[in-house]
Amino acid sequence: MAMTAKVKDELSRHEVTKPCCRKAEVAATLRFAGGLHIIGGRIVVEAELDTANAARRLRREIHELYGQTPEVLVLAAGGLRKGSRYVVRVVQDGEALARQTGLIDGRGRPVRGLPPKVVSGSVCDAEAAWRGAFLAHGSLTEPGRSSALELTCPGPEAALALVGAARRLGISAKAREVRGIDRVVIRDGDAIGAMLTRLGAHDAVLAWEERRMRREVRATANRLANFDDANLRRSARAAVAAGSRVGRALEILGDDIPDHLREAGQLRLQHKQASLEELGQLAQPAMTKDAVAGRIRRLLAMADKRAEDLGIPGTDANLTPDMLDS
């Protein structure tokens, strides 16, 4: 199950007992999932939801809290709609419901943000408002570089109200407009987990954190593998380059080479991709890698000085661009 569907399924089954929280959730769901319509001179309250459980929850809460019995219409998938949509509609006494839920003020004007009782309510009201908004128009992407918990808002006032509610919960959320649509986004992984916990989606939090951890472990393993592979390639190129310079040094110096330097040079030529530590173990008697490096360094310096005196190319004459690329 996709993360958004998983969260909405769990939230639609989350039990809330406090009347103020239940009312805040209903108000936010109605505000974010629909709106007010004038039909035949009467105010009709509608909310369009994408899951049957969320529609049943809203219908039950409206009936238990306000004594209204909404009708539920099913819009079958087709055209731009990928799945079925569920419309919860209150026609009879719609104006009374709109006033009770705070969708319109005392003068009958639509409230642009969230109802004042929700905005100035307790922390549990802020949680309920986020839960209702997520059931209405929320989404949660898979953990990763672009993971986000996002809510589509009916307007900038509603978006700012949600940002304020998140701030009261100690969670940072940002309001932004994308192609003319107002959204509220939480991108930080820890903040997403904290918000889901606040909303009551505990099973979804565990699933999301597990996927997040699995992805981070995989990404870390890939980075380490790439890092080790790059180091191996660099070490191999450096060893081949050193072998090329040593070969040129032996050509320049001929027989006029101290035995201990010749031995180190021949080891480098015979084992071009071996590390300095491996060359030291191959020597007779065995040497440390610092001793091998010191002898090869002196051999190259002696050869370069001889080449400069003779006016001929030095030990780097045979190096190719691939050997120099580190």
Q: What distance in Å separates the CA atoms of residue 105 and residue 116, rounded to the nearest whole number?
A: 9
pLDDT band at 142 (very low <50, low <70, confident <90, very high): confident
The pair of three-digit structure tokens given for residue 299, joined into one six-digit string: 């051999």
**Structure letter (DSSP) for residue 38:** E
Cα Rg, the chain, nearest whole Å: 36
Q: Which helix (H) or strand (E) holds 293?
A: helix 289-310
Put simply, whether the predicted model's pTM sits higher than 0.85 gets the answer: no
Q: Give Cβ neighbours of residue 225 (< 8 Å, ≥ 6 apart).
A: none
Asked if 132 and 28 count as a contact pair (C-beta separation under 8 A), the reply is yes
**Structure letter (DSSP) for residue 142:** P
Q: Which residue has the higher pLDDT, 251 or 162?
A: 162
pLDDT band at 229 (very low <50, low <70, confident <90, very high): low
Q: What distance in Å separates the CA atoms of residue 99 and residue 105, rounded to the nearest whole number?
A: 7
The per-residue pLDDT for 131 is 92
Question: Phi-psi bin for 214: left (phi > 0), alpha (psi -120 to 50), beta?
Answer: alpha
Q: Would strands 85-90 and 42-49 be described as parallel, antiparallel, or unpaired?
A: antiparallel
Q: Give Cβ neighbours of residue 101 (< 8 Å, ≥ 6 apart).
A: 23, 26, 27, 30, 45, 66, 115
Q: What distance in Å separates the CA atoms of residue 316 and residue 246, rounded to the nearest whole number?
A: 9
* Percent of the chain whose predicted confidence (pLDDT) is above 90: 20
Span 173-214, pLDDT tens digits:
999 988 889 999 999 888 888 898 898 888 888 887 887 777
Write down the mean pLDDT value for the chain. Answer: 83
Burial class (CB in 10 A: 0-12, 13-18, 19+), 58: buried
pLDDT band at 157 (very low <50, low <70, confident <90, very high): very high
Burial class (CB in 10 A: 0-12, 13-18, 19+), 48: middle
Q: What distance in Å separates the CA atoms of residue 277 and residue 280, rounded to the nearest whole number?
A: 5
Longest distance between any two alpha carbons in the chain, whole Å: 110
Half-sphere exposure of 32 (CA within 13 A, CB side): 33
Mean pLDDT over 145-170 rounds to 90
The per-residue pLDDT for 224 is 63
The per-residue pLDDT for 324 is 55
**Mind giving me the DSSP string for 149-185?**
EEEEESSHHHHHHHHHHHHHTT---EEEEETTEEEEE
Q: What distance in Å separates the CA atoms of residue 207 and residue 102, rounded to the nearest whole number?
A: 35
The pair of three-digit structure tokens given for residue 146, joined into one six-digit string: 């672009």
From 225-229, 277-281, 285-289, the region with the lowest mean pLDDT: 225-229
Look at residue 80 and tell me whether its pLDDT is greater than 80. no
Asked if 252 and 315 count as a contact pair (C-beta separation under 8 A), the reply is yes
Asked if 196 and 205 count as a contact pair (C-beta separation under 8 A), the reply is yes
